[in-house]
Amino acid sequence: MVIILKPNPGAAQVESLRKFLEQKGLQTHLSEGSNQTVIGLVGDTSRVDMEMLKALDIIEDVKRIQEPYKDANRKFHPDDTVVTVGDAKIGGGNFAVIAGPCSVETEEQIITVAKAVKAAGAKLLRGGAFKPRTSPYAFQGLRAEGIRLLLEAKKETGLPIVTEIMDLSQLDLFDEVDVIQIGARNMQNFELLRQIGKQNKPVLLKRGLASTYQEWLMSAEYIMASGNRNVILCERGIRTFETQTRNTLDVSAVPVVKHLSHLPIIVDPSHAIGISRYVPPLSMAAVAAGADGLIIEVHNNPACALCDGAQSLTPENFAKLMQKVENLRSVLK
Amino acid sequence: MVIILKPNPGAAQVESLRKFLEQKGLQTHLSEGSNQTVIGLVGDTSRVDMEMLKALDIIEDVKRIQEPYKDANRKFHPDDTVVTVGDAKIGGGNFAVIAGPCSVETEEQIITVAKAVKAAGAKLLRGGAFKPRTSPYAFQGLRAEGIRLLLEAKKETGLPIVTEIMDLSQLDLFDEVDVIQIGARNMQNFELLRQIGKQNKPVLLKRGLASTYQEWLMSAEYIMASGNRNVILCERGIRTFETQTRNTLDVSAVPVVKHLSHLPIIVDPSHAIGISRYVPPLSMAAVAAGADGLIIEVHNNPACALCDGAQSLTPENFAKLMQKVENLRSVLK
Amino acid sequence: MVIILKPNPGAAQVESLRKFLEQKGLQTHLSEGSNQTVIGLVGDTSRVDMEMLKALDIIEDVKRIQEPYKDANRKFHPDDTVVTVGDAKIGGGNFAVIAGPCSVETEEQIITVAKAVKAAGAKLLRGGAFKPRTSPYAFQGLRAEGIRLLLEAKKETGLPIVTEIMDLSQLDLFDEVDVIQIGARNMQNFELLRQIGKQNKPVLLKRGLASTYQEWLMSAEYIMASGNRNVILCERGIRTFETQTRNTLDVSAVPVVKHLSHLPIIVDPSHAIGISRYVPPLSMAAVAAGADGLIIEVHNNPACALCDGAQSLTPENFAKLMQKVENLRSVLK
Amino acid sequence: MVIILKPNPGAAQVESLRKFLEQKGLQTHLSEGSNQTVIGLVGDTSRVDMEMLKALDIIEDVKRIQEPYKDANRKFHPDDTVVTVGDAKIGGGNFAVIAGPCSVETEEQIITVAKAVKAAGAKLLRGGAFKPRTSPYAFQGLRAEGIRLLLEAKKETGLPIVTEIMDLSQLDLFDEVDVIQIGARNMQNFELLRQIGKQNKPVLLKRGLASTYQEWLMSAEYIMASGNRNVILCERGIRTFETQTRNTLDVSAVPVVKHLSHLPIIVDPSHAIGISRYVPPLSMAAVAAGADGLIIEVHNNPACALCDGAQSLTPENFAKLMQKVENLRSVLK
Q: What is the mean pLDDT of residues D265-277?
A: 95
pLDDT at B306 over 70: no
Which of A182, A215, A134 lies closest to B188 in space, CA to CA?
Answer: A134
Of the pLDDT bands very low, low, confident and very high (cuts 50, 70, 90), residue C5 is: confident
Q: What are phi and psi of B85, to 5 degrees?
A: -135, 110
Instruction: State pLDDT tens for residues B204-257.
Output: 999 999 999 999 999 999 999 999 999 999 999 999 999 999 999 999 999 999
Distance CA B243, CA D64 (A): 13
Q: Is the CB of A282 less than 8 angstroms away from the CB of C290?
A: no
Between CA B329 and CA B287 the distance in angstroms is 7
Cβ contact, residue pair C51, D307, below 8 Å: yes
- Mean pLDDT (chain D, rounded): 92
CB count in 10 Å sphere of residue C126: 30
Cβ contact C75–B7 (<8 Å):
yes
User: Is the Cβ pair D55, C276 closer than 8 Å?
Assistant: yes
pLDDT digits (tens, 9 = 90+) for B102-121: 999 999 999 999 999 999 99
- The pLDDT score that the predictor gives to residue D138 is 84
Half-sphere exposure at residue B299, Cβ-oriented, CA atoms within 13 angstroms: 26
pLDDT at D192: 97
Give the minimum alpha-carbon distance from A241 to chain D in angstroms, rounded to a whole number.
Answer: 4
User: What b/e readout covers A174-201, taking b as 16+ CB neighbours within 10 angstroms?
Assistant: beebbbbbbbbbbbbbbbbbbbbbeeee
Sequence-ordered alpha helix ranges (H) in chain A: 11-23, 50-54, 107-120, 144-157, 190-196, 213-225, 253-260, 269-273, 279-288, 315-332
User: Tell me: the pLDDT tens digits for C207-255?
Assistant: 999 999 999 999 999 999 999 999 999 999 999 999 999 999 999 999 9
Q: Is the pLDDT of residue C28 over 70?
A: yes
Phi and psi at residue C163, to the nearest 5°: -150, 155
Determine the pLDDT at residue D139. Answer: 84
Q: Are C317 and C276 in contact (CB under 8 A)?
A: yes
Please report residues of A whose CB lies closer than 8 A to that of D34.
42-43
∠ CA C142-C147-C153, nearest 5°, is 115
- Measure A239 CA to nearest chain D CA, in Å: 7
Is B167–A166 a contact, with Cβ atoms under 8 angstroms apart? Answer: no
- pLDDT of A7 above 90: no
D partners (3+ CB pairs within 8 A) are A, B, C
| Interchain pair C2, B40: CB under 8 A | yes
Q: Which residue has the higher pLDDT, B270 or A137?
A: B270
Could you tell me which chain A residue has the CA closest to the CA of B302?
A55
Q: CB neighbours of A51 closer than 8 A, spacing ≥ 6?
A: B307, B308, B309, B310, B311
Mean pLDDT score, D58-81:
89
Q: What is the largest CA-CA distance in chain D?
A: 76
Judged by average pLDDT, the poorest of A173-182, C38-47, C114-123, C137-146 is: C38-47
The Cα–Cα gap between A272 and A255 comes to 17
C42: three-class secondary structure by DSSP: strand
State the average pLDDT over residues D49-71: 81
Q: How confident is the model at residue B26 (pLDDT cuts 50, 70, 90)?
A: confident
Q: Got the DSSP string for A119-171?
A: HHT-SEEE-BSS---SSTTS----THHHHHHHHHHHHHH---EEEEE-SGGGG
CB D315 within 8 A of CB D116: yes
Interface test with D, best of B64, B248, B252, B276 (most D CBs within 10 A): B252
Residue B267: closest CA among B246, B278, B253: B253
What b-and-e string marks burial along B144-173, b requiring 16 or more CB atoms within 10 Å of the CB?
A: eebbebbbebbeebebbbbbbbbbbebbeb
Distance (Å) from the alpha carbon of C111 to chain A's nearest alpha carbon: 31
Q: What is the dihedral of CA A299, A303, A306, A307, to 10 degrees?
A: 80
CA A131 to each of CA A166, B189, B218: distance values in angstroms, whole numbers, following the listed order: 8, 11, 15
For residue B51, list chain A residues with Cβ-Cβ distance below 8 A.
Answer: 307-311
Contact list in A for residue B135 (CB cut-off 8 A) is 46, 68, 218, 221
Nearest to C256 among A212, A244, A328 (CB): A244
Give the gap in angstroms from C-alpha C29 to the nearest C-alpha of chain B. 7
Distance from CA of B189 to the nearest CA of A (A): 7
Give pLDDT tens digits for B68-94.
Answer: 899 999 988 999 999 999 989 999 999
Confidence at A139, pLDDT banded by 50, 70, 90: confident
**Domain residue spans of chain B:** 2-63, 83-332
Q: What does the pLDDT average to over A168-196?
A: 97
**What pTM, to 2 d.p., does this model score?**
0.94
Q: Is A265 left (phi over 0), alpha (psi -120 to 50) or beta?
A: beta
- B214 CB neighbours in chain D (<8 A) are 244
User: Does residue B307 carry a pLDDT above 70?
Assistant: no
Please report the pLDDT score of residue A5 as a whole number: 87
- For residues C271 and C237, is the Cβ–Cβ distance under 8 A? yes
What subunits make at least 3 CB pairs under 8 angstroms with A?
B, C, D
pLDDT in tens, D285-328: 999 999 999 999 999 876 666 666 678 999 999 999 999 999 99
**Coil, strand or helix: which one is A42?**
strand
For B282, the closest chain D residue by CA position comes to D289
Specify whether the CB–CB gap between A61 and A39 falls below 8 A: no
Within 13 Å, how many C-alpha atoms sit on residue D146's CB side?
23
Do B295 and B266 meet the contact criterion of CB atoms below 8 Å apart? yes
The pLDDT tens digits of the residues spanning C152-200 come to: 999 999 999 999 999 999 999 999 999 999 999 999 999 999 999 999 9
Grouping H, G, I as helix, E, B as strand and the rest as coil, residue B332 is helix
Chain B partners within 8 Å of A134 (Cβ)? 188, 215, 218
Chain D partners within 8 Å of C137 (Cβ): 46-47, 68, 225
Pick the closest to residue C297 from C174, C113, C120 (CA basis).
C113
Q: How far apart are CA A91 and CA A85, in angstroms?
A: 12
How far off is chain B from C31, nearest CA to CA, in Å? 7
Whether residue A51 and residue B169 make contact (CB cut-off 8 A), yes or no, is no
Q: Supply the mean pLDDT for chain C.
A: 92
- The answer to whether D321 touches B318, Cβ cutoff 8 Å, is no
What is the CATH architecture of B83-332?
Alpha-Beta Barrel (3.20)
Contact C31 B40 (CB under 8 A): yes
Euclidean distance between the first and final Cα of chain A, in Å? Answer: 39
Q: Cβ contact (<8 Å) for D248 and B250?
A: yes
C57 has pLDDT over 80: no
Contact across the interface for A328 and C244, Cβ inside 8 Å: no
Please say whether the beta carbons of A61 and A208 come within 8 A: no
| pLDDT at residue A245 in the model | 94
What is the DSSP-derived secondary structure letter of residue C157?
H
Instruction: Report the half-sphere exposure of C254 (CA within 13 A, side-chain side).
Output: 32
Q: Which CATH superfamily is domain D2-63 in?
A: Phospho-2-dehydro-3-deoxyheptonate aldolase; domain 1 (3.30.70.1140)
Q: What's the CA dihedral at C316, C319, C320, C322 to 10 degrees?
A: 160
> How many other CB atoms are there within 10 angstroms of residue A157's CB atom?
20
Q: Are A4 and A64 in contact (CB under 8 A)?
A: no
Count interface pairs A-B at CB distance under 8 A.
Answer: 134
D134-155: pLDDT as tens digits: 989 888 999 999 999 999 999 9
List pLDDT tens digits, range D172-220. Answer: 999 999 999 999 999 999 999 999 999 999 999 999 999 999 999 999 9
What pLDDT shows up at residue B46?
72
Smallest CA–CA distance from D30 into chain A, residue? A29
Whether pLDDT at A43 is above 90? no
> Does pLDDT of A224 surpass 90?
yes
Residue of B nearest to C238 (CA): B241
For residue A214, the chain C residues in CB contact (below 8 A) are: 244
Q: Which of D249, D252, D331 sits opposite B273 (nearest CB)?
A: D252
CA D135/CA D127 separation, integer angstroms: 20
Greater pLDDT, A192 or D49: A192
- Judge whether residue D16 has pLDDT over 90: no
Inter-chain residue contact B245 with D252, CB threshold 8 Å: yes
Residue % of chain D over a pLDDT of 90: 72
Taking CA atoms, D326 is separated from A328, B97, C221, D84, D282, in Å, by: 67, 25, 45, 21, 15
Q: Which of A36, A256, A259 to mutate against chain D (most D CBs within 10 Å)?
A: A36
- Is the CB of C188 less than 8 angstroms away from the CB of D310? no
Give residue B7's pLDDT band: very low, low, confident or very high (50, 70, 90). confident
**pLDDT higher than 90, residue D94:** yes
Q: Please indicate whether, in this complex, the C-beta atoms of C65 and B7 are within 8 angstroms of each other.
A: no
Return d(Cα D227, Cα A303) in angstroms, integer: 64
- Cα of A127 to nearest chain C Cα, Å: 25
Instruction: Using alpha carbons, list the distances in angstroms from residue B141 to A168, B102, B111, B138.
Output: 20, 10, 17, 9
Considering only CB atoms, which chain C residues are within 8 Å of B43?
A: 33-34
- Taking the C-alpha atoms of residue C53 and residue C62, their distance in angstroms, rounded to an integer, is 7
Q: Please give the torsion angle defined by the CA atoms of residues D133, D138, D142 and D146, in that order, rounded to the nearest 10 degrees.
A: -50
Chains A, D: CB pairs < 8 Å: 64
Closest D-chain CA to A66:
D36
pLDDT given for residue A306 in this prediction: 63
pLDDT of residue A49 exceeding 80? no
**What ipTM was predicted for this assembly?**
0.93
The residues of A whose Cβ lies within 8 A of any Cβ of D are: 2, 4, 7, 27, 29, 31-36, 38, 40, 42-43, 61, 63, 65-66, 75, 239-241, 243
How far C243 CA sits from the closest chain A CA (Å)?
Answer: 7
Q: What is the pLDDT of residues B118-177, one digit of tens each?
A: 999 999 999 999 999 998 988 899 999 999 999 999 999 999 999 999 999 999 999 999
Q: How far is CA C82 from CA C91, C93, C229, in A?
A: 5, 9, 10
**A-chain residues near C250 (CB < 8 A):** 240, 242, 248-249
**Please, what sign has the CA dihedral across residues C64, C70, C73, C75?**
positive
Cα B258 to Cα A302: distance, rounded to the nearest angstrom: 39
Q: What is the DSSP string of D265-325?
A: EEE-HHHHH--GGGHHHHHHHHHHTT-SEEEEEB-SSGGG-SS-GGGPBPHHHHHHHHHHH
**To the nearest 5 percent, what fractions of chain D are helix, strand and coil?**
40, 20, 40
Q: How does DSSP classify residue C128? A: B
Find, among C207, C188, C217, C170, the residue nearest to C295 by Cα.
Answer: C207
Q: Which one of D6, D18, D35 would you mutate to disrupt binding with A, by most A Cβ within 10 Å of its Cβ?
A: D35
Is residue B308 predicted with pLDDT exceeding 70?
no
> What's the pLDDT score for residue D9?
84
Please indicate whether, in this complex, the C-beta atoms of C252 and A248 are within 8 angstroms of each other: yes
Fold match flag (B2-63 vs B83-332)? no
Q: Which of A52, A191, A304 sits opposite B166 (nearest CB)?
A: A191
User: To 10 degrees, the CA torsion angle through B41, C64, C250, A264?
Assistant: -10
* Closest Cα in chain C to B65: C4
Burial group, residue C243, by CB count within 10 angstroms (0-12, 13-18, 19+): exposed
Classify D74 in phi/psi space as left (phi over 0), alpha (psi -120 to 50) or beta: alpha
Q: Which of D40, D61, D63 sits opposite A31 (nearest CB)?
A: D40
